[in-house]
Amino acid sequence: MNFDDLLARYFGSADLATVPPAAQAAGIEKMRVDLGLEQDRPKRFALWCLLYLMGAAPDLDIAFKQEEDREAARNFMDLAATAPEAEG
C-alpha cells in the first residue's frame, strides 16, 4: 500500500495539514473499521502503521493474531521513535 494513496483514501488528501479535524477523526474511524475487517496481513500491517503514526492504533494483541506481526509492529514503533521529525 502506498502511503499517499492511504492518506487520499481515508482523508481525501495526501496533505493532512489541509484536512479538517472532523474529517481526520472520520478517516481514523474508517481505518480502524477497515483494520478489523482486513484479512490480508500486509494490508493490515500498513493500516496499523498509519494508525500508529496518527496516535490511534489499537494494542498489538488486539491488532495482530500472530507473534511475528506483533514483533514487526514493535520494530516499526522503535524505528518511528528514532526517526527525525519531518520539517515543513
Q: Where are the domains of the chain?
A: 3-82
The pLDDT of residue 84 is: 83
Q: How confident is the model at residue 87 (pLDDT cuts 50, 70, 90)?
A: low
Tens of pLDDT, residues 7-28: 999 999 999 999 999 999 999 9
User: What does the mean pLDDT of the chain come to?
Assistant: 93
CA distances from 37 to 9, 30, 41 (A): 16, 11, 11
Give the chain's radius of gyration (CA, Å): 13
